[in-house]
A and B are shown apart, each in its own frame.
Chain A
Amino acid sequence: MKYKIQNVARQVGLLLLVVWTVVSLVTLLIELVPGDPATAILGEQATPEQIANFNAKHGLDKPAFFFSYDGKKGFDWHGADNRYLDYWKGVLTGDLGTSFRTDRPVLDMILERYPATIKLAVAALIVAVGIALPLGVLAGTNKNTWLDNSSSFVALLGISLPTFVIGPFLMYVFAVKLGWFSPTGSANPEDIILPAVTLGAALSAILTRMIRSSVIEELGEDYVRTARAKGLSERKVVYKHVLKNGLIPVVTILGLQLGVLLAGAIITEKIFSWQGLGLLLLDDGIGKRDYRLVQGCVLVISVTYILANSLTDLVYRWLDPRIRLS
């Protein structure tokens, strides 16, 4: 019990440390912008007064950090009234600032788009499992045959083909040539299929390989021999016994990959004009130099990613006593 609490405490501690680092990075990244955000937004013709107003409105007139360093003057202490602390106070009270462009709260803009991205990621996960499970079992139970080799080849192909190659190809075949789906947007319920397949392709390839090696490993266990000896059909042996044990590591990967899917969704959303968080980041954030929005999107995507990973890790530890006790 003591070990368990220590372990969980260490996990939570690390999680907090990582989140703190990410928020700090995101906060300070805005300082890297060449020139200043006000000129980037208002243009070269902006009067000094307009720039001063803009800076005051978004808190950009304050110093960036607790102190600054100047080659001539050395360290200069600014105290607690700085942008870094302001952003932190905002984050902790659920305020990610207002958009430089639209003056809307960044959090509202993000929450509007968040469900679409989650929906896409979950759909991709379902597609990936749907492809990988039969393919992986087929390859594992027919080790070193042409079936195995060709499914391994398909899997490697899936890993190597980038999203932005698969996406337009699928769009060309199924939307342009066959006309089964609309090429972009999310007007109809079935419009999620092409983006979900595109996003899930790489994951399905990884899963296929995992399920294959898992099945091969489990097939060599004693309980399989027992199951066969008592006269179970091969089908029952595989689906009732082998898969049950073989899927434990696969489940972990699924949790970890949900985070990867969230980040990968940025490209998929661009290909299919899917109105999610990725498109918000690219078009409204980076495209329009709305740095406050970029900060918010990067923060929300990475924190979701980190939380998904940590949760998976905790659940896995709890599920598998071998790890829990080690």
Chain B
Amino acid sequence: MNRLTYIGLAIAAIFILTAIFAPFIATQDVTAQDLFMRYAAPSARHWFGTDALGRDVFSRVVYGARISLEVGIIVVTVSAVIGIFIGAIAGFYGGLVDKILSGYIFNVFLAFPGLLLAIALVAFLGAGLGKLILALCVIGWVGYARVMRGQVLKVREYDFVQAARALGASNMRILFTHILPNAIQPLIVQASLGMAGAVLAEASLSFLGLGIPPPAPSWGTMIEEARGIDILYNAPHVLFFPGIAIALTVLAFNFIGDGLREYLDPKQRQR
């Protein structure tokens, strides 16, 4: 694995630890307002300064990691489980089932711009954490399904699958104890890139006012609140720190995904 992958792993580790130990790392209450301290510059008391309501930006960025991680893990897990299941069925059974699933349903989901579908779903359902996660899962599963289908098509021709079948193993047993473990590598890459995608999508929707409503400290919401011209002029730190946090997190998971893909694909490694 290359150096960037290790950098990615290190940043991701910091991000995850920050999210888990947020109550111990944050220096202030995330919702505590101090209207006498609006837009205060970074100082010993407020490491990243304060925002429009005098809330501590450092503590909000720390708790923001929690929201991002929570959304990321739930979205990746749920989409992966649904995607793996549907992809496995499409690849394993083939024929008409595969034609309907991969020929039609996958194509419909891929033909639709993901972010727009999420926006449309949230627009009609209303904003909120649960609905946001639902929308991201609706757009997320198809990536896993496609990878899984391709893997199953490849692996099911191997001798050990024929052997298992000859021994009388059921379809489900063959699928989940023989094929799945051999198809898992590209799915891990997909999950890592999916984590970056989910963190980014949550922040995007929150930025558009369609994600987690304030006062929850979502990084996207924090940037939304900080993008006024006068704020940019007087207190750019309010924008800077959540911006850096999102960029680093997404970068880290992209580094990991890219590095893993390169590591698992010898053709790319040589290049």
* B107, B108, B208, B236: the one within 8 Å of A267 (CB): B208
**Stretch in A110-118, A235-243, A258-266 with 4+ CB within 8 Å of B:** A258-266
Q: Is the CB of B251 within 8 A of A157?
A: yes
Q: Is the CB of A306 within 8 A of B120?
A: no
Residues of A within 8 A of B207 (CB): 164, 267, 270
- Nearest to A305 among chain B residues (CB) is B113
Q: Is the CB of A159 within 8 A of B232?
A: no
Chain A interface extent, by class:
35 or more
B141 to chain A, nearest CB (A): 16
Q: Is A184 an interface residue (CB 8 A)?
A: yes
- Nearest to B207 among chain A residues (CB) is A164
Q: Is B45 an interface residue (CB 8 A)?
A: no
**Stretch in A29-37, A69-77, A222-230 with 4+ CB within 8 Å of B:** A29-37
Q: Is the CB of B246 within 8 A of A286?
A: no
Q: Is the CB of B115 within 8 A of A264?
A: yes
* B104, B123, B227, B236: the one within 8 Å of A271 (CB): B227
Q: Given known contacts A162-B200, A164-B223, A183-B229, is B113 in contact with A302 (CB within 8 Å)? A: yes
Q: Is A298 an interface residue (CB 8 A)?
A: yes
B contacts with A: majority SS: helix
- Using a Cβ cutoff of 8 Å, how many contacts connect chains A and B? 128
* B120, B226, B233, B254: the one within 8 Å of A294 (CB): B120
Q: Is the CB of A29 within 8 A of B124?
A: yes
Residues of A within 8 A of B246 (CB): 162, 165
Q: Is B112 an interface residue (CB 8 A)?
A: yes
A9-43 contact mask (Cβ, 8 Å, vs B): 1 or 0: 00000100110011000100110111000000000
Q: Given known contacts A21-B108, A168-B227, A171-B232, is B204 in contact with A262 (CB within 8 Å)? A: no
Residues of A within 8 A of B124 (CB): 29-30, 32-33, 291, 294
Residues of A within 8 A of B247 (CB): 157, 160-162, 165
> In the complex, A172→B119 CA distance in Å?
27
Q: Is the CB of A156 within 8 A of B251?
A: yes
B125-139 contact mask (Cβ, 8 Å, vs A): 1 or 0: 110000000000000
- Nearest to B229 among chain A residues (CB) is A183
> In the complex, A267→B116 CA distance in Å?
11
Q: Is A325 an interface residue (CB 8 A)?
A: no
* B123, B196, B229, B255: the one within 8 Å of A176 (CB): B229
Q: Is A128 an interface residue (CB 8 A)?
A: no
B residues contacting the other copy or chain, number (CB 8 A): 45
From 85 to 136 in chain A, residues with beta carbon under 8 angstroms from any chain B beta carbon are none
Q: Is the CB of A22 within 8 A of B254?
A: no
B126 to chain A, nearest CB (A): 6
Q: Is B32 an interface residue (CB 8 A)?
A: no
Q: Is B101 an interface residue (CB 8 A)?
A: no
> In the complex, A281→B247 CA distance in Å?
26
Q: Given known contacts A17-B104, A162-B250, A176-B232, is B119 in contact with A266 (CB within 8 Å)? A: yes
Give chain B's interface residues, CB within 8 Å of chain A. Answer: 4, 103-104, 107-108, 111-116, 119-121, 123-126, 196, 200, 203-204, 207-210, 220, 223-224, 226-227, 229, 232-233, 236, 239, 243, 246-247, 250-251, 254-255, 258, 271
Closest 4 CB pairs of A and B: A263-B113, A160-B251, A165-B243, A32-B124
Give chain A's interface residues, CB within 8 Å of chain B. Answer: 14, 17-18, 21-22, 26, 29-30, 32-34, 153, 156-157, 159-165, 167-169, 171-172, 175-176, 183-184, 213, 216, 259-260, 262-264, 266-267, 270-271, 281-282, 285-287, 291, 294, 298, 301-302, 305-306, 309
- Can you offer 10 A-B residue contacts whose CB atoms are under 8 A? A14-B104, A18-B107, A21-B108, A26-B120, A160-B247, A162-B200, A165-B223, A183-B229, A270-B208, A286-B119
